[in-house]
A and B are shown apart, each in its own frame.
Chain A
């Protein structure tokens, strides 16, 4: 019964470095989402995975951002050549992906706070 977990909790990096953020969804959840929350802002959709379908990457802000989901479970969000404007909290969420009913509820992880110096 563990919830969504994310690692690391906090990440400080230097401008220009690459970073990888990890998300472990709830076991059995087929849908996985990444969001970005800048300071004092709402959540900005980044990318969505559903089962074995091609991911919806429509929210990725630039080609420096990419994400993978291996084996339909764990996902990593990679940011290449980080910039200061990438500083934010990156939240992951998962859902059962079922149409209608409780399947639409997204369960969120605690997020990774990324600081780019």
Chain B
């Protein structure tokens, strides 16, 4: 079974600085998708960024980028120029190409200090 591990329960960053959130996963599949979701106190899960495993190029969305290392099964999220609004729980998630469900990590709580 696929598992997703987020080893950092909490992280903090100074406003305008850069922070990296770690995620590793375990799978025997070759085709899959990886996601980072943000969950603010409102509970609304918001997709931040996603990566298709067959793409070697790391995904980027504005201030958010990933470092996808397929061989190492690592998928870290880098947030540049951190803003107060970035404070939230961040979940890493895995979905197999032909699977119906998505596997989530336990989450990392990010605090942004002004």
Interface residues of A (CB under 8 A from B): 33, 35, 40-45, 48, 50, 56, 58-59, 89, 91, 93, 104-111, 113
Q: Find B50's partner among A33, A41, A44, A104 (CB 8 Å cutoff).
A: A104
Q: How large is the interface on B (under 10, 10 to 19, 20 to 34, 35 or more residues)?
A: 20 to 34
3 closest residue pairs by CB, A with B: A108-B45, A42-B104, A45-B101
**Secondary structure class of chain A's binding surface, majority of residues:** strand
Evaluate contact between B91 and A105: CB separation under 8 angstroms.
no
- Cα distance A104–B47 when bound, in Å? 11
**Cβ of B106 to closest chain A Cβ, rounded Å:** 5
- Chain B residues, Cβ within 8 Å of A48: 100-101
| Smallest Cβ-Cβ distance to A46: which chain B residue | B101
- Chain A residues, Cβ within 8 Å of B103: 45
**Cβ of B108 to closest chain A Cβ, rounded Å:** 10
Evaluate contact between B107 and A42: CB separation under 8 angstroms.
yes
Q: Decide yes or no whether B64 CB sits under 8 A from chain A.
A: no
Evaluate contact between A91 and B45: CB separation under 8 angstroms.
yes
Evaluate contact between A43 and B43: CB separation under 8 angstroms.
no
27 A-B pairs whose Cβ atoms sit less than 8 Å apart in the complex: A40-B106, A41-B107, A42-B91, A42-B105, A43-B45, A43-B91, A43-B102, A43-B104, A44-B104, A45-B101, A45-B102, A48-B101, A56-B100, A59-B101, A89-B43, A91-B43, A91-B45, A93-B45, A104-B50, A106-B47, A108-B37, A108-B45, A108-B46, A109-B44, A110-B42, A110-B44, A113-B43
Q: Decide yes or no whether B95 CB sits under 8 A from chain A.
A: yes
**Cβ of B29 to closest chain A Cβ, rounded Å:** 14
- Chain B residues, Cβ within 8 Å of A109: 44
Most chain A C-beta atoms within 10 Å of own C-beta, residue among B95, B104, B106: B104
